[in-house]
Structure 1
Amino acid sequence: MENPIILQTFYWEMNSGKYAEEYPEEANLWNLLAEQAAEIAEVGFNFLWLPPANKGAAGAEDVGYGTYDLWDLGEFKQKGTKRTKYGTKKELKKAVEKLHQNGLKVLYDAVLNHRLGADDKELVKLKDDSKAEVWTIFNFKGRGDEYSSLKLDWRVFDGVDWDERTQRAGEFLFKCKEWDDSYEEDYLMGADIDYENQEIKKDVINWGKWIVNEIGFDGFRFDASKHVDNGMIHDFIEEVNQSTDKDLFFIGEAWVNSAETLADYLNTVGQEKLHVFDFPLRESFVKMMQGKLDMRWLGEKGLVNQDNFRDRAITFVENHDTERDGTNEYGTEAIVHRKMQAYCYILMRRDGVPTVFWKDYHSHGLKERLDTLIAARKKFAYGDAYESESNDKNTYSYIRTGDDEHPGSGLVMMITQHESEKIIEKSVNTGRAETRYYDYTGHIEEEIMTDAEANGIFKVKATAEEGYSVWVPVKD
């Protein structure tokens, strides 16, 4: 797979409010993906990251992160509905098959940290010997014993955040329990799963094998992975990967804004197949949006630019958590300016696997511009890579030299946070002497010729909207 790209196929507000009115087809996401499979593949995407497909506590309204029953993919009448927010199990399997037929791989968003929407409560003893009435009984009456006979009670959990008897919120750790060995604080929300309990650990790993071998998925995105037991993440990857001949792909959502901490997290889990989202790089894009980034050092930002971890970084601009309508509960700032500069950066670079956000692609009207960058990545982004010596605080240039396996490849990527509305010119050595280049984005109309030493004066518009250019060789 050359220059792979991930498409995140959902966003938080999908099929709600104004989005339900403007995009009614998104009410049945599995069917929509099946219908668009050929088009998605033709654009150049390789992986599709699907939302959690299992039954959530809020039924058909659940985005998927309120995990109730992992084994119910829209097949059983539970939580007031048979289907999930995105469709039925039958529709999901059909979509996966259609996507596979078009050469696409599919990633499952696995929410393994907690369960919500318990069927009943029980009285348990807490660590301090007091008692609490907690929602920890999961009977799964709609599913019965199909796929798994395991029913859940307090014994498979470490603790909860609510005592029904006293109507108090907090972190209630059960007697004879300890929080799991997670990278950061183990408790996040709901009924926190105890992965020291081998019964629930085995059941979840068996579920992972089922998702791959029976439903057809090609890998997983682990939600809130830094709060899940490190050993569980390691063993899940190990055992599920061994259950198939597929080359599975795994991504952890360890939301930390330090590249060094992300690297330490990967070392702690100790599983070489695990990738992580590059949140530190996105923090640099926020600064670029604000016009406060020193562009000279952009080539050093994020996990994607750290030696020994470059190939384990999943680069992105926005996702369902970072970009939401209204006030974001995570306190993140949506990237509303110079977003295309950020996408240009991740799509042209040699390292990392870039991700495109469905809401940007469709709802925000960036499809045409993103398609152009994706095409540039697939056609020209090959060969050695390096930063230009002419980079300054506001303008950044990055070169791909091209290679013999891809005739006519190579590029000069320029992005700027200047907004003077002038044309910025930079001397760049492309490694290709006496070669004509044109701007694949169409922002600059003229062609540029490099001299005998491979130097050329390359240009980019100093505007927020068009402050990115991808210069590629003119065909002979």
Structure 2
Amino acid sequence: MENPVILQTFYWEMNTGKYAEEYPEEADLWLLLAEKAKEISEAGFDLLWFPPANKGAGGVFDVGYGTYDLWDLGEFDQKGSKRTKYGTKEELMQAIAELHKYDLKLLYDAVLDHRMGGDEKEKVKLKDCSDAEVWTKFNFPGRNDKYSSLKLDWSCFDGTDWNELTKETGEMLFNTKEWDDSFDEDFLMGANLDYQNSAVREDTINWGKWIINEIGFDGFRFDASKHVDNSMIHDFIEETDKASAKDLFYIGEAWINDVDTLVNYLDAINHPKLHVFDFPLRERFIELMHGDLDMRWLGAKGLVNRQGYKRRAITFIENHDTERDAENEYGTEAIAQRKFQAYCYILMRRDGVPKVFWKDYHHFGLKDVIDKLIKARKKFAYGDAYESESNDKNTYSYIRSGDQDHPGSGLVMMITKHEHGEIIEKTVNSGQPNTEYYDYTGNIDEKVKTDNDANGQFKVKGTAEKGYSVWVAVE
């Protein structure tokens, strides 16, 4: 894949409330993705991040993160329905086949931390020797041992969050257990899986191989990966990768806003194929939204600019957790301004793999601009990368030199936080002397020509709405 781009195919409120009324086609996501396969490919996307496709405790209402049965992809009558929120297994398989016709790679959102919606209660002792009744028996009666015969009971978990006996909620560790060796606190929610239990570990890895080799996915996004046993994440990647002839792609959702700590997480997992979302870079985009970011140093921010780790960054602006209609429970802000500047930054950058959010693309009116920026990435964003000496507190420029393999490639990207409405002009060395440029975004009408030393007076509009330009050579 050259200059790959990821599309996240879902959002938290999908097929609920006003979204169900305005976008009824999203009620059957698998069918919708199959229908849009050609369009998605032609837009320049390479990878699609699917929501969890397995049965959740909430049945058809479960976004997918309340994992009940990993092996039920909408095939069995469990939790009140056969289908999941997104469709049936048959529809899923049809979508995979159709999307693969266009060489799209598909990533499964694997929720490996916990289970929810147990079928029966059990009496257990907690670490403080008190008694508890917990929902930790998972019999999967609708599946009847198809694909896997493993049933779960309390011994498959380290602890849980609800005591039926006392009606108490909270972090409860079982008497003979210890939390797994995860990067952050092991317990997150629900019944916390014990990956020191060899049966649980083996069944989960076997499921991963099945998802790749039988169902047809091309990689995984690991939900809440910093809360899952480190060695389990490593071994899951290692074993599924070895079991497939495909070049699989892996992303960990380690929600860590500090670059050094995110590097430490990657080092702890110690697998070269693992990418992570660049949450530290997104924090800078929040500052940019508010006009507080010092643009001089933007070229050094985030994992995408950390030596030795640049290519393992998944750069993004929003996802299903950061952008929600309700008050955000994760203590972050949705990026409501200067979003095109942020997309311009991640899509023109040499390093990292940029991800586009479904709501941004389909609901917030950003599709046409994002399409144009992706086309610019695919056609012009090649060669060495340089920070411009003209960068100041308000305006940032970035140069791609182009290369011989992509005739006409190379670009000058400019983004600004100015809002005075005037045209900002900067002397930027494009690396290409005596070359005429035009703004591919269309935000600036006039052309620019570089001199014998490759310097040109490149421009960008000083507005929040159109404060981004991608200058490319006139053909």
For the aligned pair, the TM-score class normalised by the smaller chain equals over 0.9
| Displacement after TM superposition at 1:170 (Å) | 1.6
Q: Partners in 1 of 2:263 and 2:474 — Cα distance?
A: 40
Which residue of 1 is the match for residue 115 of structure 2?
Answer: 115
SS in 1 for 2:425: strand
Q: How does 1:226-375 map to 2 (within 5 A)?
A: 226-375=226-375
Q: Partners in 2 of 1:412 and 1:431 — Cα distance?
A: 10
Q: What's the CA shift string for 1:30-53, capped at 9, x where partnerless?
A: 000001001100110000000000
Q: Partners in 2 of 1:12 and 1:101 — Cα distance?
A: 28
Q: Partners in 2 of 1:339 and 1:412 — Cα distance?
A: 19
What RMSD in Å do the two structures reach over aligned CA positions? Answer: 0.5
Q: Partners in 1 of 2:118 and 2:176 — Cα distance?
A: 22
Which residue of 1 is the match for residue 57 of structure 2?
Answer: 57
Q: Partners in 2 of 1:98 and 1:365 — Cα distance?
A: 27
SS in 2 for 1:123: strand
| Displacement after TM superposition at 1:326 (Å) | 2.3
Which residue of 2 is the match for residue 213 of structure 1?
Answer: 213
SS in 1 for 2:36: helix
Q: What's the CA shift string for 1:154-174, capped at 9, x where partnerless?
A: 000000011110111121100
Q: Partners in 1 of 2:326 and 2:389 — Cα distance?
A: 41
- The reply on whether 1:102 has 2:102 as its aligned counterpart is yes
- The reply on whether 1:391 has 2:391 as its aligned counterpart is yes
Which residue of 2 is the match for residue 427 of structure 1?
Answer: 427
Q: Partners in 2 of 1:155 and 1:373 — Cα distance?
A: 51
- TM-score, length of structure 1 as denominator length: 0.99
Q: Partners in 1 of 2:354 and 2:223 — Cα distance?
A: 18
| Displacement after TM superposition at 1:176 (Å) | 1.2
Which residue of 1 is the match for residue 4 of structure 2?
Answer: 4
Amino acid at match of 2:244: T
Q: Partners in 1 of 2:152 and 2:2 — Cα distance?
A: 44
| Displacement after TM superposition at 1:128 (Å) | 1.6
SS in 2 for 1:28: helix
Q: Partners in 2 of 1:103 and 1:218 — Cα distance?
A: 11
| Displacement after TM superposition at 1:175 (Å) | 1.2
Q: Partners in 1 of 2:345 and 2:95 — Cα distance?
A: 31
**Any gaps of 5 or more consecutive residues in structure 1?**
none
Q: Partners in 1 of 2:361 and 2:270 — Cα distance?
A: 34
Amino acid at match of 1:324: R
SS in 2 for 1:4: coil
Q: Partners in 2 of 1:107 and 1:183 — Cα distance?
A: 23
SS in 2 for 1:32: helix
| Displacement after TM superposition at 1:471 (Å) | 0.3
Which residue of 2 is the match for residue 141 of structure 1?
Answer: 141
Amino acid at match of 1:388: S
Which residue of 1 is the match for residue 197 of structure 2?
Answer: 197
Amino acid at match of 1:154: W
Which residue of 2 is the match for residue 77 of structure 1?
Answer: 77
**How many aligned residue pairs are there?**
475
Q: Partners in 2 of 1:198 and 1:357 — Cα distance?
A: 37
Between the two proteins, what is the percent identity of the paired residues?
Answer: 72
Q: Partners in 2 of 1:31 and 1:408 — Cα distance?
A: 39
Which residue of 1 is the match for residue 87 of structure 2?
Answer: 87
- Once the two structures are overlaid, the 10-residue window that deviates more, 167-176 or 56-65, is 167-176
Q: Partners in 2 of 1:393 and 1:400 — Cα distance?
A: 21
Q: Partners in 2 of 1:468 and 1:202 — Cα distance?
A: 50
**Any gaps of 5 or more consecutive residues in structure 2?**
none
Which residue of 1 is the match for residue 445 of structure 2?
Answer: 445
